[in-house]
Structure 1
Amino acid sequence: MHVAREDKVILLAVDGGGTGCRALVANAQGRVLGRGESGAANIMTDPEGALRHVLEAAGRASAAAALPRGSLEGSRAVLAMAGANVGGYGAVLKAKLPFADSIVESDAAAAVRGALGPHDGAAAIVGTGSVFGGRLAGQVRIIGGWGFLLGDQASGARLGRALLEEVLLAHDGIRPGSALTGAVLARFDHDPGAIVTFGKEARPADFGAFAPEIFAAAEKGDPVAGTLVADGVAAIEAALDAVMPKGCDRLCLLGGLGEPYAPYLGARYRAILQPPLGTALDGALTLAVERFGGGA
């Protein structure tokens, strides 16, 4: 539904995730007036901190735009937030927002919208976690993104955990090791118990820190690294097959591992690769204009 409003309407777009929160304010046509940033804003892992950082980033964007005090209270906002797709966290956050009207959606949906712009297509967002999306006739569908314990296949976190599993299997003589598994075991002073202790306390980002090393080893022909990357590629392609619209001719790879994975994808995926047209913040602004602004 497009609602025509006068140019004085202030739109607020926010992209909040585990590493930081970005916000911008714009007029009804989407012309950016000011930007601001703040700290981490994952509403599932830290809902109160996320709210605080959303308001902080929004306030800084408003100050950068030199808006009158209180302008944000009358703004129409679209928030793209990590964690909004599970557990009702998005609804809880929305109830606490001070803006005149708000939409809270997952950061993945906004990232897909921003990456594809006005085009239909698909996107794979692969970093510490993973999530996949497709866009058809303006409608965005998201799959995956269920977190490290039950999902996030092909992600950096899952790659890192799988590597440590291979290190232990090689240590026990169950599977062949490689230069990579040997180097990792040496990093833990050849003590498998230290790896177990690390795994018990590690967060997804700690496992994900091994991902660059895995890709570097795969490029050198390390067999364990090659298998881990191949498993990740298989998971990515299966997810894309499930979410890509029929006749898809545009695919964007996002996240810190999008580029490293690209050369390993099958030929039919590589043939439709396109650089992303924008970010999740751009996607949030686009939705804000569509819902609250000039509709362009």
Structure 2
Amino acid sequence: MTDYFIGIDGGGTSCRAAVAASDGRILGRGRSGASNILTDPDTALRHIEEAARLALVEAGLAPDLLSKSSALLGVAGNNVGDAVSYVSARLPFQQAQIVSDGLIALQGAVGDADGAIAIVGTGTIFIARHHGNLHYLGGWGFQVGDLGGGARLGHAALQESLLAHDGIRPKSALTASILDEFGHDPTRVVDFARAAHPGEYGRYAPRVVQFAADGDPTALRLMSEAAKHVDDALDAIVDLTGGDGRLCLLGGLAHVYPAYLADRHRNRLAEPLADALTGAVALAVQAFQREAAGP
């Protein structure tokens, strides 16, 4: 068994790494750039290695211990076989596992106990652990899923702006703000929407949140409709698990949704025990110590 374990939290914006001793105690951390294994696996590999080396350096350990360490990586796209195979074959560690970024977030938030998380960012996914079994709901992407996410919220705001322009829905400060951005020319909104990616829609979500906080009726309705999608998913989690354990909201909209959720869910919300990187380290220690112990 190796002496050191490395947890990796690989995201589309940055890659974070932490190195731990065999008792799970974190010794050092490192951060580097984007590590999306689907869109740019070679850049992801470079940043994974860089973050891990920086973690070793902060821990006062030699960077060449990378090749003698066991690593667990939580990344998006872990269910895409080609990407995982390509990255796995080129990782610099003695041994490694690739799991979902949602799994390390769940482990960080609830530890080894039963519980559930709702990740509400640009997209949405809901994950629960119940009697040792994992349940994943949502996470199907912007085109057919991600209900309640920031991209969907921004998309809805653009729709409402066009409806307001046409006199089908009442105008509001929110719709006026968006139409002002496009010069009150609906064809420019259409041109934007034809090529927009989820993240580009998502940049309108903070505007909806702010206008809702200011009492804008259109923004308030959009927030209520989005929260209903989150409530529905949390109801399904309760049906699966009986509502046991902690319930944590994570992601960029986590601080926003409590005000809009139904009481039955809002009253259950708890702060996460730790972050996803801590979860990755804990899973690395568990996985590789168990593997070394054998059957």
Q: Same fold (TM over 0.5)?
A: yes
Match of 1:105 among 83, 95, 99: 99
Aligned to 1:266: 262
Cα distance in 2 for residues equivalent to 1:133 and 1:178: 36
- 5+ residue gaps in structure 1? none
Task: Report the Cα distance in structure 2 between the residues aligned to 1:262 and 1:167, rounded to whole angstroms.
Answer: 26
The residue type paired with residue 280 of structure 2 is: A
Tell me the SS of whatever aligns to 2:256. Answer: helix
- Is residue 231 of structure 1 aligned with residue 198 of structure 2? no
Counterpart of 1:224, as a letter, is T
Match of 2:206 among 212, 234, 242: 212
Q: Distance in 2 between matches of 1:240 and 1:286?
A: 26
**Aligned runs of 1:104-253 on 2, under 5 Å?**
104-244=98-238, 245-253=241-249
Match for 2:30 among 36, 39, 53? 36
Correspondent of 1:285 among 281, 286, 294 = 281
In 1, Cα distance between equivalents of 2:104 and 2:141: 18
Give the one of 53, 56, 59 matched to 1:62: 56
Q: CA deviation at 1:281?
A: 0.6
Moved more, 256-265 or 235-244: 235-244
Change (3 A) 1:247 1:159: closer
Q: Is the 8 A contact 1:90 1:104 kept in 2?
A: yes
Q: Contact 1:15–1:79 (CA<8 Å) still a contact in 2?
A: yes
Alignment partners' CA distance in 1, 2:246 and 2:182: 43
Q: Distance in 1 between matches of 2:206 and 2:277?
A: 26
User: In the TM superposition, what is the alpha-carbon distance from 1:126 to its structure 2 partner?
Assistant: 0.6
CA distance in 1, matches of 2:62, 2:213: 54
- Residues 34-89 of structure 1 show CA distances to partners (whole Å, capped at 9, x for unaligned) of 21110011112222211111111111112222323421111111000122234543
- Describe the SS at the equivalent of 1:96: coil
Task: Report SS of the residue matched to 1:256.
Answer: coil
Normalising by the residue count of structure 1, what TM-score does the alignment of the two structures yield? 0.91
Kindly state the Cα deviation for residue 167 of structure 1 after the two structures are TM-superposed. 0.8
What is the CA deviation profile of residues 213-246 of structure 1, one whole-angstrom value per residue up to 9, with x for unaligned ones? 2122223332221221122111111222223411
Deviations 1:109-130 (A, max 9, x none): 1101111123311111111121
Q: Report deviation, 1:138.
A: 3.5
Q: Secondary structure at the match of 1:70?
A: helix
CA distance in 2 between counterparts of 1:247 and 1:131 reads 17
Aligned length: 289
- Identity percentage over the alignment? 48
> Normalised by the size of structure 2, how large is the TM-score?
0.91
Partner of 2:41: 47
Structure 2: gaps spanning 5 or more residues: none
